[in-house]
Structure 1
Amino acid sequence: MRHVLRTTALLVAPLLLWELLSRFGPWPRWLFPGPVAVTASVGRLAADGRLGAATARSLGRLVQGYGISAALGVPLGIAMARSLLVQRALRPAVLGLQALPSICWLPLAVLWFGLSETAILFVVVMGSLLAVAIATEDGVSGIDPVLLRAAGTLGIHGPRFVAGVLLPAALPGILTGLKLGWSFAWRALMAGELLFVAGGLGQLLSQGRELLDAAQVMGVMLCIVAIGVAVDQVLFRLLEVRIRRRWGLVEVS
């Protein structure tokens, strides 16, 4: 009971402080709306269908871009970890480009693809591909060499070695990379959707800014955070715990 009360207080206190600052703070209420106004704005967006349509549009783009990133990033990471030639040729460029914020790809995407869906997908792919590749490389490089030598001694080579030894052994590290790539892809998608009228959550943010509707902007921001947290905690967290338990990396309670 004490834990429930403590958790409730930790949730209610910031909301109460937010509402008080909105009502009595130095900012005008239209510029700094409270949680009541923000909740009402989210309710209106949900009632007229705009929030659901925008969320579905954004998630559809995310699945495409993130799928491409994972399909290219995992093999690239394995190649950098297993081939010294590939590592020397590509790793410096991959590390350098990884430090580039995803929003910096927007001008190039517009020049190459125009104001199109392809431009947004390009930004999403470039925002997450390199993170997946680097984390995959680290996961493969961290495999116990004894395990790899044992597989070679048993005559396991080629596709059988990759599918039966390399990938399973590196799977916890690869999953970490996929989780990291998801967060980068989600951020890159929001940056790309702010580029032009694209029908996603980014467009709702732009509409709120153009209409000077801070409540809508804050409400959409909270929805973006909620989706990100839900995917991270529900999907990746469950997969991570299950894989780590099966691989003996955590104690089974």
Structure 2
Amino acid sequence: MASNTLAGLDALDLDVPARDSGRLGYRAWAWLWPKALAVALVILAWELVHLTGWKKYVLPGPGVTLSNLWDQAQTALLWHAIRTTLERAVIGFALAVLIGMVVGALVSRIPPLRAAVGSMITALQTMPSIAWFPFAIILFGETTSAILFVIVLGAAPSIANGLITGVDYTPPLLLKAGTLMGLRRLSLYRHLILPASLPSFVAGLKQGWAFAWRSLLAGELLVLIANQPSIGVLLSTYQAQADMASTVAIMIVILILGLCVDSAFGAADRAIRRRWGLTGTG
């Protein structure tokens, strides 16, 4: 009898990894198939438009474009350009996060400072990034610093506003409870206010990344730095050569990179909602 029980437990233990892997496969499929369907529909619509002959010499078909993209992927130039662009994106966004967090933390907790510069943050957020480039080029010249400067100006206000909104919506009862537990100033901010404002802060980060990415690509189109190939430089070069297949291929690369980053933010958002018990799953 005991041996039968142990055998049953062993079988149950072996079945748990199988169930876990099956659940993981189901989640991966549930995540993948809507995106695959959307891509298939876009390619189908693209092919139908191309077959009609509308803008035939401007809009190449998906077959020619995807073949061009595959050929470019076999070269070092494309990967060098992607690396250069992503390095600038990471550095610029990291600086924007640091500055946005500091500004957001100070403005959200110091009323006179908020009254002085609170509306200015929103005004900066609404400024088109491209409007900053003449000033950035005069200030830094046609260098990477000019691009990073505009990335920070484009992204930091959104990040700061996200943190300010999260702090504003921290429940007063929660703040009183933290105070009664002995939390003061920095400890109150670190252990209570920041975790409570995390959903709004992540939303601000996501919006800030969108502004940073647009600012970066606009900068690479305007600020052409010698011996530094980037996605923007490739896009500008192919447009000048009227090579539309290569141009659209680079635009697809930009879209793919944007989707990858959006998926990362989506995963972070889902993790936060699970931690807060907002998804109905453990």
Say whether the fold is shared (TM-score over 0.5): yes
Contact 1:68 1:125 in 2 (8 A): yes
Counterparts of 2:40 and 2:88, CA distance in 1: 35
In structure 2, what is the equivalent of residue 217 of structure 1?
247
Query: Within 2, Cα distance between the matches of 1:188 and 1:196?
Result: 11
CA contact under 8 A between 1:74 and 1:174: conserved in structure 2? no
Runs of at least 4 residues off by over 3 Å = 3-14
Give the Cα–Cα distance (whole angstroms) in 1 for the partners of residues 33 and 278 of structure 2.
34
Native 8 Å contact 1:151 1:161 kept in 2: yes
Count of matched residue pairs: 249
Contact 1:98/1:130 (CA < 8 Å) preserved in 2? yes
* Contact 1:45 1:51 survives alignment (8 Å): yes
Name the structure 2 match of 1:19: 47
Q: Which residue of 1 aligns with 2:183?
A: 156
- What residue number does 2:56 align with? 28
- 1:1-253 to structure 2, matched below 5 A, reads 11-29=39-57, 31-198=58-225, 199-233=229-263, 235-252=264-281
In the alignment, which residue of structure 1 is the partner of 2:3? none
Evaluate the alpha carbon distance shift between residue 238 and residue 10 of structure 1 in structure 2; reply closer, same or farther with a 3 A threshold.
closer
SS state at 1:194 partner: helix
Q: Whole-Å Cα distance in 1 between the matches of residues 260 and 209 of structure 2?
A: 12
TM-score of the aligned structures, taking structure 2 as reference length: 0.83
Q: Give the TM-score normalised by the residue count of structure 1.
A: 0.92
CA distance in 2 between partners of 1:8 and 1:188 (Å): 29
Q: CA deviation at 1:65?
A: 0.4
Query: One-letter code of the match for 1:18?
Result: W
Higher RCO (C-alpha under 8 Å, 6+ residues apart): 1
- Percent identity over the alignment is 33
| CA–CA distance in structure 2, aligned partners of residues 38 and 211 of structure 1 | 16
Larger radius of gyration: 2
User: Cα RMSD over matched residues?
Assistant: 2.0
Give 2:53's aligned amino acid.
G
1:40-60 CA distance string (max 9 Å, x none):
221222111222111111110
Distance 2:171 2:279 in 1: 18
CA distance in 2, matches of 1:27, 1:183: 30
